[in-house]
Each structure stands twice: as structure tokens, then as C-alpha cells.
Chains A and B, each alone.
Chain A
Amino acid sequence: DAKTTQPNSMESNEEEPVHLPCNHSTISGTDYIHWYRQLPSQGPEYVIHGLTSNVNNRMASLAIAEDRKSSTLILHRATLRDAAVYYCILGVPTDSWGKLQFGAGTQVVVTP
């Protein structure tokens, strides 16, 4: 399975943008890039996903490199509620994505 590499932690000030990098140099042509986040004492929560083009939704934006070997999740204005572990995962769209394997993720700390 293709792996992802993320920084262990990142810190941001409230109301500032946060750019979370993810490297996936062994990504295959059929792998989608997914982002989930996990708030304290909760289950993971879907954030966004994409294949080749950049994607935007109400929670975040996903910027995908042209060679697809890396991507960046962008939180446009961090709030205290965005403090969570963010996971970058690769998955193929069969059987509801099948084996989504979570790595260690990036712990995002938001400072007032």
C-alpha cells in the first residue's frame, strides 16, 4: 500500500491560515488523496478528498501537486475548534474506499 508522510505537529495562531503538507511519492494512478481529522475524544471526521485537481469545500481546500507526489490541506482561518489530528490517507474507490489506512497524522495546535 502507498504510504504518506506528514509532520508530527504544527502550530498556528487563531484566524490565520494553516497549510498541512503530505508527501505520497509512491502514489498510484488510481489512488485518491483523503483527509480526515480527529478531535479529542471523538472518531475521525471526513474533511476533503481529491484525485488530481484542487478541491474546495466549506471546511478546507486541498491543493494537489501536478505530479501528485504531494498535497497540502489548507485551513483558511484556523479556529480553536480546528485543533485536532489531521490524517492524510490514500485510497482507491472500491467498496467505500476499502482499506483506508491511517498513519500518525499531524497534530494541529491553535493558539488564541
Chain B
Amino acid sequence: DAGVIQSPRHEVTEMGQEVTLRCKPISGHNSLFWYRQTMMRGLELLIYFNNNVPIDDSGMPEDRFSAKMPNASFSTLKIQPSEPRDSAVYFCASGQGGAEKLFFGSGTQLSVL
């Protein structure tokens, strides 16, 4: 398996633009997580899905952030409109319910100018 695949690897955009980050979890995994990492706040859990259903989105910073999981093999995290303070590395992770570990993607480095 290729692991958790995130795209794009890097994204540079201007303030006010819409940004969409994509994640393909490992086949067969039924849980998916979005994290954000900054120097100031470290790794923060934004939202997680189980069987494509959002279970907890309490970490989503504000209404400008939204996440979807239309099927078991794809998820998006959208920021609209983007702001400079959204600049961070965004990680996607997946896991199989009851299994021992989560698998993380390589992340998307987002820079909002």
C-alpha cells in the first residue's frame, strides 16, 4: 500500500482565496483524521471521521474551515476564505477501528500570503 496520500505537497495562495487540501486514506481504514501543525501550537486535531461520518469537529478553528468525506477513499479540508494565520502544515491520518496505530501522510505545507 502507498500509505496515506495527501495533495498538494505545498500550496501557496493569497489571503482571501479558497484552499482545498486532499487526502486518500489507506484502503480498508475506516477512520480519518485531519491535524494542523504550527510552531506556536504544535499538532492540533481538527476533525475526525469514522465510516465517513464526522464524529468530532470541535478542533475546527472557525467556520472558514470545512471537511468532507464523500466516500471511504477520499477526504477534503477546505478553507474559505484563507488568512495568513492559516499557514501551517496540515496532516491527514487514517486507522482501522480497534487497530493499534494511526498512519500519517506526509502533510501539506500551506502558506497564505
What is the interface of chain A, defined by CB distance below 8 A to chain B? 36, 42-46, 49, 87, 93, 95-105
Contact = CB atoms under 8 A, between A and B. Distances in A.
Given A49-B100, A96-B96, A103-B42, A42 B50 contact: no
Given A43-B91, A43-B93, A43-B107, A97 B42 contact: no
Tell me the interface secondary structure of chain A in the complex.
loop
Contacts, number: 61
A96 B30 contact: yes
A100 B102 contact: yes
A42 B100 CA distance: 20
Contacts of A43: 4, 91, 93, 104-107
Contact of A96 (B31, B42, B45): B31
A87 B35 CA distance: 15
Contacts of A96: 29-31, 33, 50, 94-99, 102
B42 to A, nearest CB: 6
B14 interface: no
8 contacts: A42-B106, A43-B4, A87-B43, A96-B29, A96-B50, A96-B96, A98-B48, A102-B45
B43 A44 contact: yes
Interface string B75-107: 000000000000000010111111111111111
B43 A49 contact: no
Given A93-B98, A95-B31, A96-B30, A45 B48 contact: no
A43 B45 CA distance: 13
Given A43-B105, A49-B100, A99 B45 contact: yes
